[in-house]
Amino acid sequence: MLRGLRVWIDEAEAAVELTLGLLVMQKLGYSEQTLLENARRQQAVWDFADQPDTTPGIAMHRTLRMEELSDGIDDDEGMCCATPELGMIPSLADAEAVRTVLMAKVAEAAADGMEEPAVEALQDLLLKFQGVFRLIFGRDPPVRVEPLKVHIKPGSVPVKSGLRRYPPTHMAFLEKHIRATCG
C-alpha cells in the first residue's frame, strides 16, 4: 500500500496503469540504472516502434491540446523572454576577448597537470574553432540552414506554444550562470 502519495487520475486512458516519479521509485527501492543494466543483459537492442501511440506522458500532452489557443500574450505579466539580441554582429574586440578566455583555459589545464603535447593539441584545437565560442549569446545572425521538415502523424493535433517566459529573478540567475560559465 502506498500512503501519502499524490496521484493524478486520468479515467479517459485505460492503457496507463501507474506512472511513478523518480523519487517514488527510489523510495520503493528501484534504481533506473539497475533497470537499464538488467534490460541490457537480457537484450542488446529493444525495439519500441510497434508500441501504441499512447504512452504515460501522452496524458499531459492531451491536457495541453485541450486548452484554448491564444495568440495574445499579456505584456503586463512582469515576465521576460530569453530572446537574443540579433542586431549586433560580433566585433574584433569580442574575438580577442574570446581568445583571451580560451588561452586562460589552456593555461589552467597546463597548471592542473596536463601533459605538454596535450596542451599544444588543446590550444591548436581551440584556436582552430575559436569562431564558435561566444562570451555573450544571441548577437549572431541566424544560421543559414535548410528549414526543418516536420512530419505529423495522421490524426494528431498540432500544439501551439508561445515564447518561454521567465520571471526577472530567473533571467538574472540565467545571466549570472552564463557569466560564471564563460569565464
- pLDDT computed for residue 112 by the predictor: 93
Q: What percent of the chain has pLDDT over 70?
A: 66
Does the global pTM surpass 0.75? Answer: no
Maximum average pLDDT range among 7-21, 86-100, 119-133: 119-133
| pLDDT value of position 20 | 73
Q: What is the mean pLDDT of residues 1-20?
A: 69
Phi–psi pair at 113, nearest 5 degrees? 105, 10
- Name the residue with cell 500500500: 1
HSE of 33 in the Cβ direction (CA atoms, 13 Å)? 0
DSSP one-letter code for 14: S
- pLDDT of the residue at 65: 47
Least confident of 51-55, 76-80, 156-160, 161-165: 76-80
CA distances from 84 to 54, 63, 64, 72 (A): 36, 30, 27, 21
Is the pLDDT reported for residue 85 higher than 70? no
Radius of gyration, alpha carbons of the chain: 24
pLDDT at 64: 47
Query: In angstroms, rounded to a whole number, what is the distance separating the alpha carbons of residues 95 and 74?
Result: 38
